[in-house]
A and B are shown apart, each in its own frame.
Chain A
C-alpha cells in the first residue's frame, strides 16, 4: 500500500469515526466520568495520609493521580467488546471482504473516541485545579512530549494486548470474560489504585516484569514530574509488543480459518 493511499485511508477513517463518535458524545462523557477512579483513590490515600510515610508528599500524590486520570482516559481500550458484538451480529463479514486489515477500523474508532473525550477531560482537569489550586504545576515541554509518547505507546501496548485476547472471539462467543478477568491485575499492577512507588518492593519488582505498569504508572509519573527510568520502560514496552505481535498474527490467521461468519 502506497504512503499516500494509506494517509488518505487514515484521514477518511478518522474523520468518519470522529463524526460517528460525536453522535454518541453524551455516552462518551459518561464513560469519561466513570473513569474518575484515580480521584477516588487520591481521596482515600489523602485521608489515611499514607503518602508522607512512604516517600510521596500529598502534593506529589495529587499530581500523580491527576496524571493517572489523564493517561487512563487516553489508554482505554474496548476493542474486544466491539469485536465480539460485530462477530455475533455478522457485521465482521462485510469488513473482512474489503482490502483493508480490519484492525485499522478499530484503531481509528479508538483514536476518534479519544479525540471526542479530549475537551471533557480538559474540563475535568481544570475543575481539579480549581478545587485543589495548590496541586497546579506546569510540566516542562520535554516532559509533556515524553508523556504523550509514553501514553501513545501505552495505548498501543494495551490495544495490542486486548486485540490479541480478542482473537479468542473466533472460538468463543463470550470471550470478553477474559478481558474482565485481566482487569484485576491491570487495576492493581498498572498504578491506577496507587503509584507503584508505594507498593512493597517485592510486589513492585514483580509488577515491572508484567506489561501493566507501563500502561498507567510510567506515563503518569513522567507527566507528574516524578523520576522514571525512561529508556528501560520504553524497552520493556517494545519487548512486550514483540512478544504479543507474533501471537496476535498467528491467532488472527488461525481465527480466520475457524471463522464461520456467525449470524450471516
Chain B
C-alpha cells in the first residue's frame, strides 16, 4: 500500500504583476494588478514504503511547491494528497511525528547555541524519553560522523557540519517519510558524498521512504532507482533512472584546454561543439563513443587538460524540453 499518494494535485498562486520604474510603481500603487501562476498542475503519483525516489526539474518547475503540499505546509488548490495515512494539511500530531522536511537553505537549529540544545528541544517536542534520545543522537551522530561539533555553537560550524546537524535534528524522531529539498546544496564534494552515504544508510537501516530533490545529478544517480520529472508544474516522467538517463543525457560533456585555439570545424568528427572560448572547448559526445573519442582527441590534438562530466541536469532538461523530446 502506497505511503505517499498524490492524485490530480494542483497549486495556483496569485502574484503581483508590476512593471519596473517609477511609472510602473505609480500605476501599481493606484491600480494593483495580479496574475495567476499555476505552480503545479494535475500531478499524480504514488510511492511505496521504503522507496528512494528522486524528484527532478529545473528551478521553478514545481518541485518545492509539491513537497510543501506533501508535507502539509501549503494547501493544494486542487486534487488530493495522502501521506502516511493522513491528509497532510490537517497537520495532525500523529502525521507530523511520521514525516520530516529538510530544506538545504533553511535551518531549524538555534543559530547561537550548540546543536545539542536544539536536539533537546526536538526530543521533548516529539516525546522521546531522555535516555532514548541520547541513544538516538549517538547512533545518528556516528552515522553522520559528528562528534564535538554537536557541542559547538551552530554559527561556528562549517556548512557541511551544519547540514549534517540539521539532518540529525530532522531525523531524531525517526520519521517514516523524508522529504529532502536540496540537502546537499552548497556542500563541497566530500560533504556531499558523506550526506549521500548517510541517506542511503538511513534508508536501508530504518526502511524510511525518501523523496529527494537535488540539482546534483550525482545525488540522484547514487540514491534514486526511481525518478519523477516535473516541468512547468506537470509531471512528465515517472520511472527508472536508467531509462531517464538514456533519454535525457545520451551525451557526456568533454571539456578541453588546448595548446592553441582551433576552429569549430576541427571538432566536427568528435562530437557536437557546445562552446569555444579561446583555447577552451566544450563538446558533447554520445556515451557509447566516449572512450573512443576521448582517445582520438588526446592522440590527434595538442591537449593541455581534459575533463569529462555530465552536463548540468538543468541544461539537459531545458534542452530536451526545448527540442520537444519529452513533450
> Using a CB–CB distance below 8 Å, which chain A residues touch chain B?
5, 8-9, 11-13, 16, 19-20, 23-24, 90-91, 93-100, 256-257, 259-261, 263-264
Contacts and interface: CB of A to CB of B under 8 A. Distances in A.
B233 to A, nearest CB: 15
A16 B73 contact: no
B74 A16 contact: no
Contact of B64 (A11, A98, A264): A264
A90 to B, nearest CB: 5
Contacts of B293: none
Nearest to A95: B108
B130 to A, nearest CB: 9
A97 B99 contact: yes
Contacts of B122: 98
Given A99-B96, A260-B74, A20 B125 contact: no
B110 A264 contact: no
Nearest to A260: B74
Given A8-B124, A12-B120, A261 B97 contact: no
Contacts, number: 80
List the 4 closest A-B pairs by CB distance, nearest first.
A94-B108, A99-B93, A12-B124, A99-B96
15 contacts: A5-B124, A5-B127, A8-B124, A9-B125, A12-B121, A16-B110, A16-B120, A16-B121, A20-B112, A94-B101, A94-B170, A98-B96, A257-B75, A264-B64, A264-B73
B127 A264 contact: no
A19 B120 CA distance: 13
A19 B101 contact: no
Contacts of A99: 93, 96-97, 125-126
B100 A261 contact: no
A90 B73 CA distance: 11
A147 to B, nearest CB: 32
A9 B124 contact: yes
Interface residues of B, number: 35
B110 A261 contact: no
Given A97-B99, A99-B97, A13 B121 contact: yes
A20 B100 contact: no
B68 interface: yes
Given A261-B73, A264-B64, A23 B112 contact: yes
A91 B112 contact: no
B146 to A, nearest CB: 19
A106 to B, nearest CB: 14
Nearest to A108: B121
Contacts of B118: 16
Contact of A264 (B72, B103, B113, B121): B103
Contact of A16 (B71, B108, B117): B117
Contacts of B75: 257
B205 interface: no
A19 B118 CA distance: 11
